[in-house]
Amino acid sequence: MRGRCSRPNLFLLAVTIMLGAASSVQAHLVNTGFGPFYDGFMHLFVTPEDLLPVIAIALLAGLRGPRFGRTVLFALPVGWIAGSIIGPAFAPPLSLSTPEIILTLGLGALLAADWPLPLAVIAGLGILLGLMHGILNANDLAKTPSSGQLVLLGVMVALFISVSILAGQAASVQVMWARTVVRVVGSWIAAIGFLMLGWAMRAPA
C-alpha cells in the first residue's frame, strides 16, 4: 500500500464529479411554497418587466443624492399601492405594455444621460411607475382574493428593500468611473427598452 487517502482528497474528488454532473434546470418559478407574502416578495425579483424600471428609478434618484433616494423610497410604493387599489376597477383589464416599455426606456435613458432632474419630477416618475405597475399587477392579485393583501405586502417590502439598497449605493458613489458604471446600467436598460419596443411593434410573421 502506497499510502492512505486523506478525507479532503476524497471530498475533493466527490465535489469534482458532482460539479461535472449536469442536472435539470427549472426555468419557471411557479411559487415559492412559503405562502402569499413570499410569493409577493419574490414576484419583483422574478419579473424583469417590473424589476428593470425599479432599478432605473432607484439609481436615477440615488445619483441625484440621498434626499431624492428617500423620496422615491416612499413615492414608488405609494404609487404601487394606489395602482393595486384602482386596478381592478378597469374591466376589461388594462393592457399597458407599450407605455410600460416606453417608461422603462425613458428611465434608462435619463439615468444614462445623468440628467439633473428636479425632485418633483423624480418623485412624479416614481409615482407614475408605481401606479402603472400596480394597475398591471392588480389583475394578477385579483386572481388570489383571499391573500391579495399579503402578496401586495410582500411586493412592497421587496420594493422598499430594493430601492433602499440601490439608491443608497448610487448616492454613495463618489468617483467618476463608478458613476459611469451606474450610467452604463442605465444605457443597458434603455437598450433593452428599445428592443422590447421593437418586439411589441413587430409585424406578425
Partner 1 sequence: MKYAKVSSEFGRRLGYPHFNWPDRLIVPLIGLVLLFYPLTAFAHKRGGEAIGFVSGFEHPISGLDHILAMVAVGLWGAQLGAPAIWVLPVVFPMIMALGGMMGLMGIPLPGIELCIALSAVALGFAVFREARPKLWIAAIIVGFFAIAHGHAHGTELPAGASGILYSIGFVIATGLLHATGIGIGLVHRWPAGRVALRLSGAAVAIGGMFFLWKALSGEPV
**By the rule CB under 8 A, 166 interacts with partner 1:** no
What whole-number distance in Å separates Cα of residue 62 and Cα of residue 107?
A: 13
Residues 181-200, one symbol each (x = binds partner 1 by CB under 8 A, - = not), give --xx-xxx-xxxxxxxxxxx
**By the rule CB under 8 A, 175 interacts with partner 1:** no
Question: In sequence order, what DSSP letters do the residues of 11-77 get, joined into one string?
Answer: HHHHHHHHHHS-----------SS-HHHHHHHHHHH-HHHHHHHHHHHHHHHHH-HHHHHHHHHHHH
Q: How many chain residues touch partner 1 (CB under 8 A)? A: 47
* Segment contacting partner 1 by CB under 8 A, of 22-30, 87-95, 127-135, 136-144: 22-30
CB atoms within 10 A of CB 53: 27
Q: Cα 14 from chain centroid?
A: 38
Residues 76-115 that bind partner 1 (CB under 8 A): 109, 112
| Amino acid letter for position 108 | G
* Segment contacting partner 1 by CB under 8 A, of 3-11, 30-38, 69-77, 163-171: 3-11
Rule CB under 8 A: which residues touch partner 1?
1-6, 9-10, 13, 16-17, 20-25, 27-28, 48-49, 52, 109, 112, 176-177, 180, 183-184, 186-188, 190-203, 205
